[in-house]
Amino acid sequence: MKKIFVSALFSVITLSCSNTAMANNTAINETHLPKNIIMIIGDGMGPAFTTAYRYFNDNPSTVKIEETVFDRYLVGSSSTYPAPVSGYITDSAAAATAMATGVKTSNNSIAVDVDKKPLLTVLEWAKQQGKKTGVVVTSEINHSTPAAYLAHNENRRKYKEIADSYIDDGIKADIYLGGGRDYFIREDRNLVNEFKEAGFHYVDKYSDLKNMPENARVLGLFDKKALPWALDDSNKHRLSLMTKAAINQLENSQGYFMLIEASRIDLSGHARDISSAMAEMDDLAKTLEYLEDYVANNPDTLVVLTADHSTGGLSLGRKTGRDINKNIKSLFVWQPQILRAISISPKSFSDKFAQENLNIQQVNAVLNFTLSVDEMNLLVQAKQQGIKLLKDFEKLSTEQQKKRRRPSVSKPILVTIKNIIDVQTNTGWGTISNLGTHTAIDVPVFSFGSNSKIFTGFQDNTDIGKKIFTLLGDKD
């Protein structure tokens, strides 16, 4: 494996990103720079997701639609396009690199420029400035977004190599919380043991977060890959749980920089799964509400939240017919009340339905909303289709099977139950591929706390990184 050694390069990298003009006219208060900076990325969280969450979170017993924590701190928007070589639509790696370094790069690139040269990140700069640093994510901790702040690699999918770099290129964070255990405990190398040898306290259960040594450096890996859907997890608000635990360990006289990512919002967009999306958004909202109180008691802290891109082309509502009031010619409806009731992800439901012979009453109890007889028949047909596909596959020769992917009985069921939920709620997905894709639309920016006004208005995603460099004391 070819290692990328970046520490020797940083002394000659010019931090030109801090010398650019701000995207708005609000000046930085240089006499009161934030002691702590918390950067939050809602992966895939375009504006439709925060709007949907407002209606999902609404109390239907009141006339007013209550504002959410997102509404309270919306200050602007950001463009997300990558370097020209990759066109107009970014992936998570290029977008995270833009926000971590203030420099555009090509898709798939992790904190390297278009020429594959390493770029200094705001997390690395914060560490060089004497601050503690940490990452808290619901993906693997070596996935695209956290990696763009912690590593340098021309390919986001070199997960093992990126994990190795967390040791080989120097330990850059004091707290790592998220998933990805399979990349850190492997037959060829046990990185967990290496972190322990470097003085880290290791945890692999959420309950362990309550009993960590004071001021310890912590590595927490809570699943083999990404964390489960919030709907299925043992703690549906695990992002806020991990955030609280991380802050308790990071607080110190010099301050800290922390990256938080609500990673699975993006996966819900790719899966076109509105019920899982709202649960992931609720986890993020609870995290923001905690930070809202935290900043009230620690006004020298800055919180910035944005998305790397939007995923899935989410749309809310459709025309369903004429209203009972003859003066209203059409009725446009989105029905989030169904989503509020769901307590299991469509993926978990489809696995359960594939394995068990459930009748309509049992299905309604599992889903916690009511299916029609026709909808139940669609599920039964989907299961039969999955069984047939599997039987046909098993009839093939071993050589033929090697050339194909083994069918899953649950997959047609999953497609069907998500479609049923979309129809019942009137949710749409606007991308043309079978899976939800990234889109080129601008994303919202939220901020509160020390110097938060500098993120007001329209900006590019690189401006976010440039501003954070300046807030960290970059005077070059």
Active site residues per annotation: 92
111: phi > 0 → left, psi -120 to 50 → alpha, else beta; which? left
Beta bridge partners of 177: 136, 220
Distance CA 243, CA 251 (A): 12
- C-beta of residue 96 within 8 angstroms of C-beta of residue 149: yes
Long-range Cβ contacts of 2-9 (<8 Å, 24+ apart): 3/164, 3/165, 3/168, 3/169, 4/118, 4/152, 4/153, 4/165, 4/169, 5/169, 6/118, 6/152, 6/169, 7/169, 7/170, 9/117, 9/118
Alpha carbon dihedral 376, 378, 379, 380, in 10-degree steps, equals 90
Compute the half-sphere exposure of residue 439: CA atoms within 13 Å on the CB side of its CA: 23
User: 191 Cβ partners below 8 Å, 6+ apart?
Assistant: 163, 164, 166, 167, 183, 184, 185
Cβ(357)–Cβ(379) below 8 Å: no
Tokens 């099977």 locate to 401
For residues 212 and 320, what is the distance between their CA atoms, to the nearest angstrom? Answer: 54
Burial profile 52-67: b = 16 or more Cβ within 10 angstroms, e = fewer = bbbbbbbeeeeeeeee
